[in-house]
Homo-oligomer: A and B are copies of this chain.
Amino acid sequence: MSSSRPRRDFPNAEHDHSHCAAHALGQADLICEARGVRLTEIRRRVLEVIWDSHVPIGAYDILAKLNAGGGRSAPMAVYRALDFLIENGLVHRIDSRNAFFGCSHPEEPHRAQFLICNVCSAVAELDSEALHETVRRTARTKGFRVENVVIEASGRCPNCARKSAP
């Protein structure tokens, strides 16, 4: 009832992002291998595009990036890849933005909450079981049986908060 277990903070501007992306792709390979599911070409490319940054990206922006090199994929291809990636915990959907971004610790299933910067759009993922449990418990007092919880906070990330009114 107390463990707030953050796994990834807001990255600073100078971090080596290619490392994040490479690591995520490597993890995805391992996870899919372990689970006996296939990280096919298009699924992998969608995941790569998503990991181009720490900013959530819309399905049609993913599509545009896929097709930037002359590709001819259709929206369905992207949505199907996203379905797969989400189902396997490799990607999260941000409901309040209709956008997608890469899960930073997909190796185990988890309840995630999101912090979304209104200035730079960066997202950090919390993983507070306590928070989740608090919602569940509060709901329970109304006789409501929780199956899924969406928690998305928007505001200023540390980097952007520093630059504006402190």
Q: Does A157 contact B (CB under 8 A)?
A: yes
Q: What are 9 residue pairs bridging A and B, where the CB atoms are less than 8 Å apart in the complex?
A: A113-B138, A128-B138, A136-B153, A142-B158, A144-B155, A144-B161, A148-B153, A148-B154, A149-B151
Which residues on A are within 8 Å of B, measured CB to CB?
4, 6, 9-10, 95-96, 113, 115, 117-118, 124, 126, 128, 130-131, 134-136, 138-139, 141-158, 161
Taking a contact as CB atoms under 8 Å apart, the answer to whether B115 and A142 are in contact is yes
A117 partner residues in chain B, CB cutoff 8 A = 144
Query: Which chain B residues lie closer than 8 Å to A124 at the CB level?
Result: 142, 144
Please provide the 3 A-B residue pairs with the shortest distance between their CB atoms, ordered closest to farther. Answer: A143-B158, A147-B155, A145-B156
Assembly CA distance A85 to B32 (angstroms) = 46
* Besides the known contacts A95-B150, A144-B158, A149-B152, 11 further A-B residue pairs in the complex with CB atoms under 8 A apart: A9-B142, A95-B152, A117-B144, A124-B142, A126-B139, A134-B134, A144-B153, A144-B156, A144-B157, A146-B154, A149-B154
Among A115, A145, A151, max chain B CB count under 10 A is at A145
CA distance A10 to B139 in the complex (A): 11
Q: Which of B4, B95, B146 contacts A141 (CB 8 A)?
A: B4
How many Å lie between the Cα of A77 and that of B150 in the bound state?
A: 30
B152-A126 in contact (CB<8A): no
Judge whether A131 and B142 touch: CB under 8 Å. no
